[in-house]
Amino acid sequence: MASVFLSYSREDVTRAEALATSLERLGHDVWWDRRLEGGSRFSHEIEEALKRSDAVLVLWSRASVQSAWVIDEASEGRDTGRLVPVVIDDSKPPLGFRQYQAIDLSAWKGRPDAKAVKQVHQALAAKAGASPDSGPPVATASRGRDYRPFAIAGTALVFVALASLIYWLASPTAQADPGAYRLRLGAFSTLSQDVPQTVLDALRDELLTALGTDSAIVTTTNQQDGKAGSGFALNASVRKVEDVLSFTVHVVNERTGASVWSETLDRPAAPVNLAPRQVAVSVSQVLRCGLGGAARHGKPMPDDTLSIYFSFCEEYWADTMGREGNPSRALDLARRLTNAAPDFSRAWSGLGQVALWATRGNRLVDAEAIRAEAKSAAERALKLDKESTQAYEVLTALQPPFAHAGREELHLKSVSLRPSDCGCEYVSYAAFLRRVGRNLEAVDASKRAHDMIPLSADVNSGWAESLFVAGRPDEASRVVADVLKLWPENADLREMLVRTAFWTRRYEEALASLADIGTLASQREREALSSALKAHRSGSAAAMASAAKTLQQLPQNGTDNGPLIITALAALGADQEALSLAARRVESDGPRALSVLFEPSLAAARRTPQFEQIADRFGLSEYWRESRNLPNFCSQDSPPAICSRL
């Protein structure tokens, strides 16, 4: 087929990745950032890739039409007769390119068998002088994007990780058994007359959407696929019992007829459009873990082993399934899985992950012994698969709490490898970046995780958090609003609306969230925070002092809304009290409590000697100074004095 240079803006990376993956499955070779080595060689390598390619595939969008890099690359394709233009939104190509007929992918949902993808395939084959129906091709694709030579390391590695995924999917090992990860949405039936057909239709559509970003699972609704027995089928039924819809799902190996996973999920029947969406998110997460992990194993897995793995995945994602997880059961399942499949890297990395989970707050286990088991399991996983992102996550968690440089080194290894089925490595790295004051970079890492699992409440919560702190409240609010449509009871997001109001000044939205009984733990907290919001809105020094005093009288027992209270105290001018509480939280909760120190409300507190003492005490100053990765506040006008010491 064709060697393809793929030019696009980094804002369109999700669409570019999906298209590149689809084209590689059709035999084209796509070149992008994975082959860039850094420094001054970027321009040279891009130029060489352009020269080598049969076709220059340009994705026109609102972002790319403003990109000098994309326009330059498109010009090279146009002037040499190799241009294949595609539009991915409602924008027009820039002047000089509008006379070329562009293929419309603006409505494309990521389906590899879509008609528009076939049109792109045919156009690329024509540029290479090959028949679209000829055998597997040799293809090359590159990332023409709005590249900046001094881009942050975290962002660059995100794109390297994307390229790694495409490379791996194209490798012979990954494609050893394509049927192992083909999923057919089979029979969807209703067992109650009062369940409308729209519920089943919505469940099917939402599953297609939720799985559409997983490159390791090919999802189809073609009922003819089942006759070939080439993969797995997901069958579902739903019945209504009083005011509850009960969904039962089965995953069947169509080659053997064995059921490898079955589960029932109950959701409120009203509103009628919400239950199938929530079930689709829950089920898709287990499918990503189960089938996606099995596909990445590179060889068929026996049904009984796969059934254990699905049970492990369900326990691992228990919160997504709507129930509290059982770490002891997850650990037992992981051990059984490693016994059944000792050559399965994901079994060992999963063992490491849930072993760490099992030690948290559990006095009935030997924490040191289990942590040693977690370390050994992660190392075993890496011997089996040197690109095991989950194994690096385990090793990161085993680092000393405030060894920030060591933790980041492992995070960077994790995000530079083949992405996992859940994008968890990006979630973890984004959390790390927030804890060391680098929220601008955390936005990019969180967005990458969102692109992989767009309907996850937790992933969206992290993305919104980074956007709020990075000074992009409008985008953050849209993310929160979209998630609350799907998960209206999510207390974490409602708490976020309250906390961020102290710098976004969106008081009414925050007060409405406070009125929700599920937002905070106690009536006393809600009343104190409501008074704090109103005092902050009034600007009255006396009112703010009074509200701060009330907040200080709240009990601090380690399970309350500490970060929210810290934010409120700082916003009300009680900087010393806010920092004192923050230090106590870090002592009790570890590094995860550091992120509150970098919120806009603590801008004045960061100018105090007390903040510098906290930064020194918990390893932040040493990390900033030695890594040269300074916190975002050091790039602002009139930065705090601590920045001059770094």
The CA angle 235-488-444, to the nearest 5 degrees, is 85
Q: Which of 264, 297, 330 is the last residue of a domain?
A: 297
In CATH, what number is assigned to the domain containing residue 19? 3.40.50.10140
In CATH, what number is assigned to the domain containing residue 233? 3.40.50.10610
Does pLDDT of 83 surpass 90? yes
Q: Which amino acid is at 187?
A: A
Query: Judging by beta carbons within 10 Å of its beta carbon (0-12, 13-18, 19+), is residue 122 exposed, middle or buried?
Result: middle
Q: Which of 297, 312, 340 is the last residue of a domain?
A: 297
- Alpha-carbon distance of 216 to 175, in angstroms, equals 10
Same domain, 33 and 121: yes
C-alpha distances in Å from residue 388, one per residue of 65, 235, 392, 415, 449: 37, 31, 7, 10, 17
Q: Which domain holds residue 117?
A: 3-151
Same domain, 8 and 143: yes
Sign of CA dihedral 366, 369, 373, 374: positive
Instruction: Assess if residue 84 is contained within a domain.
Output: yes
Instruction: Assess if residue 478 is contained within a domain.
Output: no
Per-residue confidence (pLDDT) for residue 225, from 0 to 100? 55
Q: What is the C-alpha radius of gyration for the chain, rounded to an integer number of angstroms?
A: 26
Structure-token pair, residue 212: 């559409």
Same domain, 194 and 114: no
Domain count for the chain = 3
- Alpha-carbon distance of 49 to 69, in angstroms, equals 14
Q: Which of 151, 168, 195 is the last residue of a domain?
A: 151
**Higher pLDDT pick, 85 / 31:** 85
**What are phi and psi for residue 55, nearest 5 degrees?**
-145, 150
Structure-token pair, residue 299: 């060889």
Instruction: Assess if residue 329 is contained within a domain.
Output: no
Instruction: Assess if residue 183 is contained within a domain.
Output: yes
Same domain, 541 and 632: yes
Spatial CA neighbour of 145 closest among 249, 18, 43: 43
C-alpha distances in Å from residue 60, one per residue of 33, 98, 104: 19, 11, 10
Average pLDDT over residues 183-206: 90
Average pLDDT over residues 190-218: 86
- Whole-model pTM: value is 0.71
Instruction: Assess if residue 169 is contained within a domain.
Output: no
- Alpha-carbon distance of 134 to 26, in angstroms, equals 10
Same domain, 37 and 119: yes
Same domain, 213 and 85: no
Instruction: Assess if residue 159 is contained within a domain.
Output: no
Same domain, 74 and 113: yes
Same domain, 13 and 133: yes
Instruction: Assess if residue 51 is contained within a domain.
Output: yes
Confidence at 130, pLDDT banded by 50, 70, 90 = low
Instruction: Assess if residue 321 is contained within a domain.
Output: no
Same domain, 210 and 85: no
Query: Which DSSP category does 140 fall into?
Result: -
Cross-strand pairs, 190: 238
Does pLDDT of 178 surpass 50? no
- Alpha-carbon distance of 548 to 574, in angstroms, equals 7
Confidence at 535, pLDDT banded by 50, 70, 90 = very high
Per DSSP (E only), the strands in 115-222 are 182-190, 218-220
Per DSSP (E only), the strands in 71-110 are 83-87, 103-104
pLDDT in tens, 275-312: 999 999 999 999 999 998 888 887 888 999 999 999 99
Same domain, 145 and 196: no
Same domain, 543 and 619: yes
Same domain, 146 and 189: no
